[in-house]
Amino acid sequence: MVEALDYLKADGVKLDYLRLRSLPVSDQVLDFIRSHEKVYVLENNRDGQMHSILSLELPEKAQDLVSLAMIDGLPLNAEWIREAVLNEENA
């Protein structure tokens, strides 16, 4: 993830980063989401399960959560993250 952030910064896209490690969703995670205009939810889950959980936890911010789900079964990698975020930023 840090490598992807470095790539994106070089592309002119500055992002903050929070790694969600467990459920239930903590106040720290909820505060992070509330304090950002747009939140990319990166996950290795075809159905976007974490995006759904966060949308249920904060329905008022659901429209600000963007699901970026890698569905090929491989681990997330910096280049995939970079491309996915840039595609959303340029949409």
Residue 3's pLDDT is what?
Answer: 95
Domain count, the chain: 1
Q: What is the pLDDT of residue 1?
A: 85
Per-residue DSSP letter, 25:
P
Averages of pLDDT over each 10 residues, the chain, 91 residues: 94 95 93 97 92 96 96 90 95 74
**Nearest residue to 88 via CA among 62, 60, 63, 66:** 66
Confidence (pTM): 0.90
Q: Residue 63: its pLDDT value, please? A: 97
Find the domain containing 83 and state its range: 2-89
Long-range contacts of 5-12 (CB under 8 A, 24+ apart): 7/78, 7/79, 7/82, 8/81, 8/82, 8/85, 8/86, 11/82, 11/86
Tokens representing 63? 């429209």
